[in-house]
Amino acid sequence: MKVAIIGGTGFVGSYLVDELLAGGHRPRLLVRAGSEHKVPARERCDLITGKVSQAEALAECVSGADALIYLVGILREFPARGITFEAIQYQGFVDSLAAARAAGIDRVVLMSANGVEQAAVAYQQTKRRAEQHLAESGVHWTVFRPSVIFGDPRGRMEFCTQLKAELVDPPLPATLFFPGINPLTAGDQPMSPVFVGDVARCFAACLDDPASFGQIYPLGGPRVLSWKEIVGTIARAGGRRGKLTMPAPAWGVKAVARVFEGFAWFPLTADQVTMLMQGNEADGSRAFTQFGIEPTRFGESALGYLARG
Ligand SMILES: NC(=O)c1ccc[n+]([C@@H]2O[C@H](COP(=O)([O-])OP(=O)(O)OC[C@H]3O[C@@H](n4cnc5c(N)ncnc54)[C@H](OP(=O)(O)O)[C@@H]3O)[C@@H](O)[C@H]2O)c1
pLDDT, average across residues 190-197: 98
The residue among 237, 223, 74 whose CA lies nearest residue 160 is 237
Distance 7 CA to ligand 1 centre (A): 6
pLDDT tens-digit readout, 213-233: 999 999 999 999 999 999 999
Domains and CATH numbers, the chain: 2-152+194-220+282-295 (3.40.50.720), 159-189+225-278 (no CATH)
pTM: 0.97
Q: Is 134 in the pocket of ligand 1 (CB under 6 A)?
A: no
143 vs 146: CA distance, rounded Å: 10
pLDDT tens-digit readout, 9-35: 999 999 999 999 999 999 999 999 999
Is the pLDDT reported for residue 309 higher than 80?
A: no
291 and 203 in contact (C-beta within 8 Å)?
no
220 vs 280: CA distance, rounded Å: 9
> Hey, CA dihedral for 38, 231, 299, 301, is it positive or negative?
positive
Is the pLDDT reported for residue 292 higher than 90?
A: yes
Percent of the chain with pLDDT over 70: 100
85 and 122 in contact (C-beta within 8 Å)?
yes
* 3-class DSSP assignment, residue 28: strand
22 and 66 in contact (C-beta within 8 Å)?
no
Quote the pLDDT of residue 267. 87
Q: Is 143 in the pocket of ligand 1 (CB under 6 A)?
A: no
- The CA–CA distances, whole Å, from 4 to 216, 252, 270, 294, 297 equal 20, 43, 34, 27, 30
Lowest-confidence segment of 16-25, 127-136, 218-227, 238-247 by average pLDDT:
238-247
For the chain, what is the mean pLDDT? 96
Q: Is 156 in the pocket of ligand 1 (CB under 6 A)?
A: yes
pLDDT tens-digit readout, 41-61: 999 999 999 999 999 999 999
Quote the pLDDT of residue 264. 87
Burial (CB < 10 A; 0-12, 13-18, 19+), residue 33, is exposed
Q: Is 11 in the pocket of ligand 1 (CB under 6 A)?
A: yes
